[in-house]
Amino acid sequence: MIRILRWSALTVAAGIAACSGKAELDPAQQSGAAPDLPAARNFLLPPMQVPDKAGWKEGQTPKVAEGLRIEKIAGDLMHPRQLYTLPNGDVLVVESNSPGSEAVTTPKQLIAGKIKNLSGKGAKGGDRVTLLRRNAMGSWDKHVFLEHLHSPFGVQLIGDAIYVANTDAIRKYPYQSGATEISDPGVEFADLPGTVNHHWTKALLASPDGTKLYVGVGSNSNVGENGLEVEYRRAVVLEVDVASRGSRIYASGIRNPTGLGWEPVTGKLWAIANERDEIGADLVPDYLTSVQDGAFYGWPYSYYGANVDERVYPQRPDLVAKAVKPDYALGSHVAALGVLFSDHNALPEKYQGGAFVAEHGSWDRSPLSGYAVVHVAFTDGKPVGAPQTLVSAFYSDDEKHLFGAPVGLAQDKDGALLVADDVGDVVWRVSKL
Amino acid sequence: MASTSMSRRFAFAVYGLLNPIPFGMFVAALIFDITYLRTGEVLWNKAAAWLIPLALIFAIIPRFINLGMVWANRRVIVSGVDKLDFWLNLVAVIVAIFNAFVHSRDAYASMPTGVWLSAVTVALLALGNVLIAARASAEARP
């Protein structure tokens, strides 16, 4: 009797464990224009590995590649997510996290939410912008620049106005060069999709001529499990006309476009995007892609062109046929959250041109992937080769403890690379040794 | 002796109170699964995803009482029907545990496996209930 009960318990445990597959592909094998894509699997328990938040010890820093040095320029921030350099060299730090407005509607959300929060990625955001200014001594002073925001992410300056993308609206504030504080309440400039906010970040990028704002709006689910009716204007890049404040869908089917940038050689709009989870440790690679006007990139119906996702009902072969393949895979589950195109900077020669990408790091993969800042080289406006890691060691060697996680990127006035770290609550500065 | 008898009565009362709950929930989950399979409306998938683990939680206490009643009962001769009912329930619980994980998948990934597992769970429990009822009616005959 007891033996049979024990056997039953073991069968259940083994059956569930056997279904959580470890990654078999190297992240480098899943980068570039044609990543290896294994067959999709459904799991009883998806691959999951989340290091516990440890934070940085005094004097401890991430590791940088040869020829580089790293220093902490600001600490004790409240979940710093995005960075933006103003023309006078001041650096804005957007301190933010999810508005927490997504209802718990499944048992999985209840459990997964608790597990993911162990890493410190769920810590409360500051809902404010801090300004960093380098003083004569070479260190950086902190000023509270803008407060009472609502899960802000993107920030852009056009002329004498600062645009902040809250999770539900773009707000516009007057700005004078040299200001260290904005007390004006600002105005709501344009409405953004703000229901549910499963993916809450709204990346923001102004066109070089200042006539348009591009907004990255993430999906309201992993793959449509909250119903397709909540995906209106979701998983898209919106184009907002600055003069009229009207907006349209510029490109769609991009699951979570977390960062936007202008490729300097071609002048084309590019985006980083986070792809879907729970069909394998090696699926689906996050990507860096040019964003074509009017194009559809597959989500939720397919990925990398015509790779159909069978979890969506009803299926849409008509849309799958239209799906554009992204240009460049970054690796599965790396969670790219920051992108910076840099034509000229003060880093060594190999980092001139191309794009820096901050990878916030995986939860749906074992071993861990991401948790690094990488550089993707470009030739003639197209990415080439494998991503090269610049900044790493955000977690302990045994993958159990998490010190920090890179998010937003910016280049300061002197051409150094700035990295926001929302687990360590730090801004790092990477420069030439 | 009197206290043992009291605790036996209490156990039977708790069993009678809690044992029907999981069956009703599994039946509802099966209905919702069929609805989701046919419509793709995510409400039904999510509703079934709650019902299955909740049914399993409600099943814990009555299943342990049943374990004692069937296998550790020295006062009454336990019939083959009771033993069969125990095994049917045990298999149903194992199937439902797998089903709870299947229902944690996103959107249509729970289908059609989820609806089959729900149907098997309900069929096993229904068979046990019918056998117990049939024996009760046979015993009640004059």
Given pLDDT bands bounded at 50, 70 and 90, which one contains residue B1? very low
Q: How does the average pLDDT of chain B come out, rounded?
A: 93
Pairing of strands A401-402, A52-53: parallel
Tens digit of each residue's pLDDT (9 = 90 or more) over B23-39:
999 999 999 999 999 99
Let me know: does A368 contact A51? Beta carbons within 8 Å.
Answer: yes
Q: Which of B50, B94, B107 shows the shortest C-beta gap to A225?
A: B107
Q: Residue length, chain A?
A: 433
Query: What pLDDT does A23 receive?
Result: 87
- CB < 8 Å from B in window 43-72 of A: 43-45
**Neighbour count for residue A17 (Cβ, 10 Å):** 10
Q: Residue A156 corresponds to which tokens in the numbers above?
A: 């852009």
- Chain B partners within 8 Å of A8 (Cβ): 90, 94
- Would you call A44 and B50 a contact, using CB atoms and an 8 Å cutoff? no
Question: How far does the CA of residue B42 sit from the closest CA of chain A (Å)?
Answer: 6
pTM above 0.90, yes or no: yes
To test the contact with chain A by mutation, choose from B25, B42, B54, B67 the residue with the greatest count of A C-beta atoms within 10 A, namely B42
- Which domains are seen in chain A, by residue range? 49-432 (2.120.10.30)
- B86 or A21, higher pLDDT: B86
- Would you call B49 and A106 a contact, using CB atoms and an 8 Å cutoff? yes
Query: Domain limits of chain B?
Result: 2-140
- Contacts for A385 with CB less than 8 Å, ≥ 6 apart: A32, A376, A377
Question: What is the distance between the alpha carbons of residues A129 and A407, in angstroms, rounded to a whole number?
Answer: 15
- Chain A partners within 8 Å of B108 (Cβ): 310-313
| pLDDT(B140) > 90 | no
- Chain B partners within 8 Å of A43 (Cβ): 105
Q: Omega of the bond prior to B112 within 30 degrees of 0, cis?
A: yes
Residue spans of chain A under pLDDT 70: 1-20
Query: What pLDDT does A101 receive?
Result: 87
- Chain A partners within 8 Å of B90 (Cβ): 5, 8
Q: Which of A8, A106, A311 shows the shortest C-beta gap to B90?
A: A8
- What value of ipTM does the predicted structure carry? 0.89
* A20: closest chain B residue by CA: B101
